[in-house]
Amino acid sequence: MLRKKIDCFVEDICKYNNFTQEKTEEIQYVMRLMMYEILKIITIIIIFSMFGYFKEVVLIIFTMACVKPFTGGYHETSQKRCLIATTILCCLTILIAKNSNLNLVSTILISIINIFCIYHQAPIINKCMPITKPSLIKKNNKIALVNSIILSMISIFIIKYGVYSNIITWTLTINVCLMFNSKKHGEE
């Protein structure tokens, strides 16, 4: 139902602006994706807010949003599966962050490893989210690297706020681990 309404809305705007059918389909896809992502984020924030983890989950989602689109790697095949996977990852990140006491040296060392992995591997290209243009690959690597360095620096600077520093560090670490997901969709 939501998909049909989005598609009709976009189609009307595209007809009015004389867009090609190909461009219309492209815009419909982007709008659908954005709507599903917004709904997923709102759902996750509501779920974790009910348990008193509003700030934590917002920080996780912010950190993921800054790095994940540019590193590639693990992608689910449906929005429902993506919601479940993201919820589980947020839960694990909060549990790890609350139950680990990373000191300054540990945070710096883990951050260096994360940055090194992103520098040498990002973006990971798979069948679900293929990118083929070398310029886009290089651009994504640079954005992922810069964003992870900035987030790592923030994590180091806010070390006295323990859990929030840990959340940034562990979110980046989990993201790096997911970059190396070798299972391809549809393959055993």
Give pLDDT tens digits for 93-150.
999 999 998 999 999 999 999 999 999 888 777 666 566 677 878 888 899 999 999 9
What number of other Cβ atoms are within 10 A of residue 186's Cβ? 8
> Are 111 and 178 found together in one domain?
yes
> Are 4 and 69 found together in one domain?
no
Helix or strand run (H / E) with residue 147 = helix 134-157
Q: How far apart are CA 170 and CA 176, in angstroms?
A: 10
> Are 167 and 77 found together in one domain?
yes
Domain boundary among 50, 65, 91: 50
> Are 101 and 14 found together in one domain?
no
Task: Please give the pLDDT value at position 130.
Answer: 61
> Are 61 and 115 found together in one domain?
yes
State which residues form the domain around 118: 54-188
> Are 180 and 94 found together in one domain?
yes
> Are 162 and 77 found together in one domain?
yes
| Number of domains observed in the structure of the chain | 2
pLDDT digits (tens, 9 = 90+) for 2-21: 778 888 888 888 888 888 88
Q: What is the share, in percent, of the chain residues with pLDDT greater than 70? A: 90
> Are 43 and 96 found together in one domain?
no
> Are 21 and 87 found together in one domain?
no
Residue 124, strand partner residues:
72
Angle at which helix 163-179 crosses helix 54-71, to 10 degrees, equals: 30
> Are 3 and 58 found together in one domain?
no
Residue holding tokens 């389909």? 25
Q: How far apart are CA 155 and CA 167, in angstroms?
A: 8
> Are 22 and 103 found together in one domain?
no
Q: Which tokens is 61 given? A: 């989602």
Total residue length of the chain: 188
Q: Tell me what the mean pLDDT of segment 30-38 comes to.
A: 83
Whether 106 contacts 173, CB under 8 Å: no
* DSSP one-letter string for 1-61: -HHHHHHHHHHHHHHHTT--HHHHHHHHHHHHHHHHHHHHHHHHHHHHHHTT-HHHHHHHH
Whether 165 contacts 102, CB under 8 Å: yes
